[in-house]
Structure 1
């Protein structure tokens, strides 16, 4: 689905405008924030950590260039939770996210939220290498490294949610300064922070290697990835972001090699989804369109390079370069071999819509929707086709059902707003926009749009007025409470 969801007007917030825009759980979930009183972070129970983690992640969505791509989202969460299923001491559900950033990095926040840069996948040479990074971050969470560091900081002075989040966001822009902010409590020496980080890294390596091996990945990929990072850093003008936030010593590399050698060597093939996701990243997030086109043409010309993933990647670059017929030729051949492949269905939907064939796209997607009614790739493409084909009521039905099943899908809120606008239903349009801002924790804009929605609701529609007023009051209460943390 060729739809870049992060509209510029939604992300023009200053990096440090944190105190005015923090959020909690989604509307359909339990909205109660933890009643933590006093120093909010002195003791973080798993329940408190989860709730605060959700607050932090929602704010992070409003500050970083998140990737809202259903295919990539499905892959990362499937792969990540495959390893979470093998982990010990899992206290809460995990959620995995992408940031559009070519730098190699990944980080975990409180409450099982893990974020990977697209650049981390782009530089990986195998699925096991990429899995090693995700397993490492999972281990940081299950071992409560972040929670313990927050508790340690709170013992040395006042600490606010905005301060912690600011450090995490800063870590993605200026990793050296950000990790100092996260790990070093006020008044402690920088060396103490580094030592604490190294201890955590060693433990996360140990647990992560076991975790990825149990999940069926190759543990030898860990020292291989470390060596790759060391080589890249050696020839770079500045140290890699990943190495700032995950210090890499020679002893750590050697230790990872020794731990990997405790497992038998075996060949672990990359999944097809990994190869297709990597092709998607290279085509749409790592290279400019023309450069990506050259990249895939070169890969296809190499011995053994004529793979489905490289063909798919080339098709995406043709489509993005408005060479729709060339893209159609490639995707049609791939669909003949695998008609139910979600990557090819997604690309073919874009092609049909670009050719003005919305009815044909809806007909195709209806059949897939009947088989997979809760799949976000199918549903979002179907709703997009319905929107383009002016079947607005169908689009609303699909999107509302999807949000009932999974209420944090950013693209669904954005598309719902577009649909209501096309229908000239401005009360629901402004409410959908408010929900979109709420998903990114931009409370002032969310409340402003609810007021606009109220202006378009008839005075005689008592129930609708009461519902919107109640939502506005709830959000204002959440914001006031979060400002006190």
Structure 2
């Protein structure tokens, strides 16, 4: 996002600590709807309100001020790290998240804040939902990807969430509750974020704190939803998608809710829909010129991959075989890709290779297809062929993380360690904050027996995931390694001083309650 106005470090750290104390239990919120943990969670939050009231510093007006962009980003990064580390439903799949980021960045560039920072990720959940967090982090349930009937419909959902970010809705909703105590405000923040993913969990969180926290606070207000609709509509139109898809998707959700009001889709409960909102979107679409938009191949391929990952391997194989036999698919290439992926899961490598050959004849180009083709060659024991596929695909899709990670892994598997390190170093020059690249680098240095370099890379891997203590520990071990030259050892010493200073500041902030 754009550079924030100056904020004192102590004031900023107090806010971050205050808000993130309970946000860090977001992982447990998802478990709360699954069983007896709900009661324990309610008791924890109820007691936490009392404990935090005693431990928290008196923030005065600083807690009531609107959150700065810098503060929002820090909170968002903290929550995102927790999700990656501890949330089992987080989709750690480069193909899926790459696609969401390509789609999301195209929309973001056409939004009210085109130079803002955004990060899009998937949550493995069959319910239809999406949610925006602090700092431009936007999650999309896999159920939404499967339910959207076109890429424009999916783009409409994502554009709506970008609208929540550009309009600062989460910060505004929390900041406007000036009459609440700090612990209640924190608990409400947890409830709002949890509710954006699952309304039932959010309700359990809210019900455990002050009675004044009404259900309307679970979700953004209807006014905020209308603002996000309008901002999202403009973004969708400017990005070149079909603007009619936005109202089509929402109207379909509303009809599903009418069929079963008790078990209404999560999307309806976290994004309150009204006839007025849908009519507003439809009226806007009528005033726009008709634009036929074809969904990209990757839209269908990602959907096929999600389906191929669902259930047992044999069930997935059967699903795609039937679809191809009956010609019930929107994209033949995607259906064959799904079958090839499912066959790989079933360890039928020859069958998977046959499907990849059939895909070739369809002349569909995508990093997702190339990645699977290389994986199949690797599984067949033909590493040179796999690496050739990766190299050719990287020339066409140099930013595809799935190809970058796959190629590095193939070089490692082929014991081409020096070449792997050269490749990883070139990628780190382009993406210094990619923790996975450091993890691959550490593994490769370990294979070469270069302990200092391994520990140094491992430290960056931990640091970028918010694990500052573990990062410092790795650098301390690196200091004791005796296989580095003077310059490498000096780099370790300098980095250790930097991280120790950050760790000391973090420890003091926690000790002082701010």
TM bin (shorter chain): 0.7 to 0.9
**Correspondence for 2:295:** 270
Alignment of 1:51-450 (within 5 A): 51-64=74-87, 65-90=89-114, 92-153=116-177, 156-158=180-182, 166-167=190-191, 170-171=194-195, 174-178=198-202, 188-190=212-214, 193=217, 197-233=221-257, 234-235=259-260, 238-284=263-309, 286-303=310-327, 305=329, 307-335=332-360, 337-338=362-363, 341-369=366-394, 373-450=398-475
- Of residues 484, 489, 493 in structure 2, which corresponds to 1:466? 493
What is the Cα deviation at residue 372 of structure 1?
5.4
C-alpha change, 1:15 and 1:443, in structure 2 (3 Å) is farther
What is the Cα deviation at residue 202 of structure 1? 1.7
Specify the SS of the correspondent of 2:62: coil
Q: Which structure's relative contact order is higher, taking Cα pairs within 8 Å and 6+ residues apart? A: 1
Q: Distance in 1 between matches of 2:274 and 2:220?
A: 14
Segment of structure 1 superposing worse, 158-167 or 213-222: 158-167
Q: Using the TM superposition, give the Cα deviation of residue 340 of structure 1 relative to its aligned residue in structure 2, in angstroms.
A: 5.3
Tell me the CA shift for residue 95 of structure 1: 1.9
TM-score (norm 1): 0.81
* Mapped partners of 2:317, 2:509: distance in 1: 47
* Secondary structure in structure 2 of the residue aligned to 1:103: coil
Q: Give per-residue Cα distances to partners, 1:202-253, cap 9 Å, x unaligned.
A: 2212221232122222222223222332344444863433223212334434
Structure 1, unaligned stretches of length 5 or more?
1-11, 18-35
Q: Distance in 2 between matches of 1:37 and 1:52?
A: 20
The structure that is helix-richer by fraction is 2
Q: CA deviation at 1:135?
A: 0.6
The range that moved more, 322-331 or 216-225, is: 216-225
CA contact (8 A) 2:90 2:122 kept: yes
Equivalent position of 2:66 in the other structure: 43
> SS state of the match for residue 39, structure 1?
helix
Is the partner of 2:152 in helix, strand or coil? helix
Does residue 15 (structure 1) correspond to residue 40 (structure 2)? The answer is no
Give the secondary structure class of the aligned counterpart of 1:111.
helix
> Cα 1:167–1:450, aligned 2, differ >3 Å: closer, same or farther?
farther
Which structure 2 segments of 5+ residues have no match?
Answer: 1-23, 30-58
2:12 maps to what in 1? none
Q: How many residues align?
A: 455
The equivalent of 2:44 in structure 1 is: none
Alpha-carbon deviations, 1:154-200, whole Å to 9, x = none? 66332699757744663366534537869999674415526862221
Change (3 A) 1:198 1:287: farther
Q: How far 1:307 moved relative to its partner?
A: 0.9
Q: CA deviation at 1:267?
A: 3.0
Q: 1:136 to 1:72 in 2, by over 3 A?
A: same
SS at match of 1:218: coil
